[in-house]
Amino acid sequence: MLDLALFAFIMGLLALGVKRPFLWVLAYIYIDILAPQKIGWSLTAALPLSLIAFCAAFAGWLLADSKRGSRFTYRQFLMVLLLIYSGWTTLNADFPEAALEKWGWVWKALVFAIFLPLTLTTRLRIEAAALVMLLTAGAIIISGGIKTALGGGGYGGLHLFVNDNSGVYESSTLATIAVAIIPLVLWFTRHGTIFPPDWRVKTFAYALIFACLLIPVGTEARTGLLCIAALAMLLLRDARRRFLYIAGGTMLALAALPFLPQSYYERMATIGEYKGDESASTRVAVWDWTLDYVAQKPLGGGFDAYRGNSFTYDIPVVTGEGNNRSIRSEAVTDEARAYHSAYFEVLGEQGWPGFLIWIALQVSGLWQMERLRRRWRIPEHPSVKKGGSQAPEPAAIDTWQAPLASALQLAQIVYLVGALFQGIAYQPFILMLIGLQIGLWSYCRQRESTARNRRPPPFAPGADRTGLTPSALP
């Protein structure tokens, strides 16, 4: 029955796309995040749903979309460079078969992230893409949150829709994404138009946020705790009553402590003592190996170059109890260990050229969102009158762009924090998030350009020093 329902929903969405081709873009987002072909066992598993939606999205845009407002931006060019360079390193990889396997999904994630902003030419499309991303990831998160609340979970024990520890379903990745989308969920409680933010929408949104906070507990992912701490500090920037926010957050955290399982405390305790944890010690050793590797091979070794690593490190082993407790060092030899960091993942696989492209892609996103956040705020937006004249009412200008830019920026920062400790440099959900950023940036630039073109003569009645009148506001 579940398989039939999934299949019917996807086929219905694809059928609706015949009249509205943009729905095929949303269909691909849904399929790529949820992976219904892994949930179903007959109809959904028999068809290449991802490929069908992928081709339909591109064909629909190419043949039926007006393309009005589509712009190719600097950040899309960076992703094209990363795509080309990754292809070159794949051809020259240290482990060709493994590299080709990873390339098989990385190129699709990059191509779709390059393509997505070209379709996000209106507010409705930007909001629809963000909403589908949230609700699709939210389906997984709500399922995990319910199981956590009912006493399930544990490290490696939180069973979701599929028994597959990859993609969004990998515990640390899901914890990072769950925390990263919280600012976007909050944005929909204030500025959403597809579902106007009434009490029902807000109730669902706050319940989803609660589920997002439960995911790091249910997965016992240490990265999730760091992401929560980072987001809590970042939200201070836009908090109107900061002392009340700090007090409330502290009280909620203290109230939650008695309900956390003992296994969660024990796992989180290893954050500050990485030398006593074999997993953490392995990561540090892999990072040291990666730096030595790129010193010898600065152009990188292609995807999965980590398979060539081998190293020996010491970890402390505690024996006995109480006064008879003793600690000794034990040498551990390990090999073919993954990077466990997006930064070292890109550095080892793509070398310094690919790493610089990837970092430029991330930093430029933070800068663009900060610029939009400042430029489109009500007090500082260029369309607001200055020079002592009375500013128009807030309803006369758009108010949603700056909060959305802020939410996307915070989501990216949370991702960058989580990426310190897991190899998610090419995670499709995050690349879609970058596509949303580019789409918003292009949309706002287009609105500003339209406003400048509609600017009246310098001495027209009602014009101020900026040359803008209320009728010319974007």
Give yes or no: residues 318 and 232 share one domain. no
Note whether 136 and 115 are same-domain residues. Answer: no
Co-location of 61 and 151 in the same domain: no
Distance of CA 178 to the CA centre of its chain: 9
pLDDT for the residue numbered 171: 85
- Position 224 scores a pLDDT of 84
Handedness of CA 444, 450, 451, 452 (dihedral sign): positive
Length of the chain: 474
**Does residue 392 sit within a domain?**
no
| Helix (H), strand (E) at residue 268 | helix 262-268
Residues contacting 151, CB < 8 A, separation 6+: none
Last residue of a domain, one of 22, 40, 66: 66
Residues 340 and 212 in one domain: no
> For position 393, what pLDDT does the model report?
40
> What is the reported pLDDT for 395?
39
Residues 443 and 330 in one domain: yes
Integer CA distances (angstroms), 401 to 62, 70, 188, 319, 405, in order: 27, 18, 12, 58, 6
Residue-number span of the structural domain to which 195 is assigned:
122-271
pLDDT of residue 247: 76
Q: Are residues 62 and 102 in the same domain?
A: no
The reply to whether 373 and 240 lie within a common domain is no
Predicted pLDDT at 471 = 41
If one counts the domains in the chain, the total is 3
Tell me, yes or no, whether 114 and 211 share the same domain: no
Strand stretches in 279-417, DSSP E? 310-319, 326-335
- Domain check: are 309 and 328 in the same one? yes
Same domain, 111 and 89: yes
- Are 50 and 21 contacting, i.e. CB atoms less than 8 angstroms apart? no
pTM confidence score: 0.85
**Average pLDDT per consecutive 10 residues, the chain (474 residues; last block may be shorter):** 82 90 94 87 80 92 86 94 96 93 94 95 94 94 86 65 79 92 94 92 94 86 86 84 74 64 58 56 84 92 89 68 64 80 94 96 95 78 44 52 94 94 92 96 86 61 44 42
